[in-house]
Structure 1
C-alpha cells in the first residue's frame, strides 16, 4: 500500500491510497478517514 499526498491532495485535504500487491483500484479518501482505513487494513 502506498499513501500519496501531493499538492492536489493537500489542497483538497485528501490522501490517495494505492494498493501495490492487491488488484484493488486506487482511491482518494478524506484525510480524516485515513486512520480508520489503516485500522481496517492493518488489523
Structure 2
C-alpha cells in the first residue's frame, strides 16, 4: 500500500485507505509498544 500511496496518489481510493488504517491501527500500536520503553511513574 505504501508504494501505491507514494507513487500513484492520484488514483488512491480513500475509503480503502481509511478502512485499512482503522482496522490495522491496533495491530500497529501493539507492535510499536514493544519498542517504546515504559515511562517512569511519578
**Bin for the TM-score computed over the shorter chain:** under 0.3
Query: TM-score, structure 2 length as denominator?
Result: 0.26
Q: Which has the higher strand share?
A: 1
Q: Which has the higher helix share?
A: 2
Greater Rg by CA: 2
Query: TM-score, structure 1 length as denominator?
Result: 0.26
The structure, 1 or 2, with the larger RCO (C-alpha pairs under 8 Å, 6+ apart) is 1
